[in-house]
Amino acid sequence: MGRLLSGLLLASLSASAFADPGDEGQTIQASPLKSRQVQDDGGQQVNVPAAPARIADAWYAHHVLLMTLGAGSRIVATVNHPESQPWMFKVLPALNQATAIQGTTFNAETLLAAHVELVFTALGDRQAIAYRQLGLPVMQMGYTDLAGLKRSMLNTAEALGGAEPRTRALA
């Protein structure tokens, strides 16, 4: 169901929705705050950096939300592959530079060495505990319906630095 909703979301958005802000000469402004509390899809409060620039995404379907919000180029570790999601790597060539793993479990030490600032996982992913024990902020995400997709998009936007009017309009 998550892939279906992701596909519907992708189909409903124009190609311009996938453009990273940096692609148009804009820069992502860091907030003067060093970190802040946001809520993940499981209802947990997570302390995240003000504007995380290096993201690991361990949930296949969640990449579409990061891309939609213009943050796809921030993904430095991924569970997706060009063989299984060729469209994703065509729309976002920067994904070819990300560390790709088989399955959904990142090596936590590798994430630290890559200076990952925020990890997204699927709801219920047991590996989230190991990432947290190493001090990595983890947002557990999940949706199975349109209302959940909207919540997940807004929570993701907040974790990235705040939900702008464009994000609220998309949701």
Residue 122 in tokens:
């699927």
Q: Classify domain 2-11+36-166 by CATH number.
A: 3.40.50.1980
Distance (Å, whole) CA 6 – CA 62: 8
- For the chain, the domains span 2-11+36-166
> Would you state the pLDDT for residue 33?
52
Say which residues have a Cβ less than 8 Å from residue 104's Cβ, sequence separation at least 6: 58, 59, 60, 79, 121, 122, 125, 127
- Extract the residue ranges of the chain whose pLDDT is less than 50: 1-32
Chain mean position to CA 59? 9
Residue 21 in tokens:
């802000």
> Would you state the pLDDT for residue 168?
65
> Would you state the pLDDT for residue 108?
83
> Would you state the pLDDT for residue 19?
39
Count Cβ atoms below 10 Å from residue 137 Cβ, excluding itself.
Answer: 20
Distance (Å, whole) CA 14 – CA 17: 6
Say which residues have a Cβ less than 8 Å from residue 42's Cβ, sequence separation at least 6: 123, 140, 142
Q: For the whole prediction, is pTM greater than 0.75? A: yes
